Amino acid sequence: MKLLEQYSVDSVFLDKPWKKITYKDIEKLSGKKSRSYIYRSLERLQKESIIKKEEVGKSLLYSLNLTSLNTKLYMGFLEEYKSMSSKHVPLSLVSNLSNLAFKVTPFFILLITGSYARNKQTSKSDLDVVIICDDKVDPKSILAELKLESELSIPPVHLFVFRKKKVLDMLSSDKENYGKEFVRNHLLFRGGSSYFDILWEAINHGFNG
């Protein structure tokens, strides 16, 4: 986790990427007390067009600039790095699932959600896996390819496969649903920039967490 410690201010924007946050939020989430360190980090992120700053009343609010490709690539990388640094996740199993999905399509997003994403798993917990694929791909073909590995693995895998459009529909809905749940609580292992593409589109359609 050395990279995330080095860029602790950058990482606070992973918590709720759709949210505008204050300096106090950043100080609390980053655990940094040095004002100069925090402001230098914020200036760097603004210079690289990764975040935006706006004045609202007497407050300054900071948010991700999700119109920028640089933002999607960088934040996607940070999310994947954070996930791959997790000690409690069976990474070899995640890698096997990713390799099997790749046989069907090279373009997909792979997330872990549920108890493993919260680091609250027990010996009886399943590994909840979400794969998001292109709209042209049949989710059943990915489910079929991963079926045997999911059933025989330890821990057992509870697999969900959604097309991109289905995820956007869930995030755009006024009702609570599984899509909103896994966006709020997940570890991202593949397809970081594509994930932030979806998130940006969902935010444009009213998603706010």
pLDDT in tens, 131-183: 999 999 999 999 999 999 999 999 999 999 999 999 999 999 999 999 999 99
Does CATH number 1.10.10.10 belong to domain 2-64? Answer: yes
Give per-residue pLDDT as tens, 15-61: 999 999 999 999 999 999 899 999 999 999 999 999 999 998 888 99
Closest CA to 161 of 181, 180, 176, 146: 146
The rounded distance, in Å, linking the Cα atoms of 53 and 32 is: 20
pLDDT value of position 57: 84
Nearest by Cα to 146 from 203, 209, 85, 97: 97
- Global pTM value: 0.93
Contact 84, 91 (CB under 8 A): yes
What is the pLDDT at residue 4?
60
pLDDT of residue 6: 66
**Helix segments in the chain, DSSP class H:** 2-6, 8-11, 23-30, 35-47, 69-84, 91-104, 115-118, 139-152, 164-172, 178-184, 192-204
Checking if the pLDDT of 187 tops 60, the result is yes
With a cut of 90, say whether residue 5 has pLDDT above it. no
Please, where in the chain does CATH 3.30.460.10 lie? Answer: 85-204
How far, in Å, CA of 160 to CA of 145, rounded? Answer: 13
Identify the pLDDT of residue 138.
98
Provide CB contacts within 8 A for 21, sequence distance 6+: 12, 13, 29, 61, 62, 63
Q: Phi/psi of residue 92, each to 5°?
A: -65, -35
Could you tell me if 131 and 159 are in contact, meaning their C-beta atoms sit under 8 angstroms apart? yes
Distances (CA, A) of 53 to 22, 66, 137, 179, 193: 10, 13, 39, 29, 22
For range 75-87, the mean pLDDT = 95
- Amino acid 44 reads R
Phi, psi dihedral angles at 183 (to 5 degrees): -70, -35
Going 94 to 132 to 129 to 196, the CA torsion angle's sign is positive
Could you read off the pLDDT of 86-114 as tens digits, one per residue?
999 999 999 999 999 999 999 999 999 99
Q: Where in the chain is the domain with CATH 1.10.10.10?
A: 2-64
* Of 50, 93, 69, residue with least CA distance to 187: 93
- Per-residue pLDDT at 209: 86
85-204: CATH topology: Beta Polymerase; domain 2 (3.30.460)
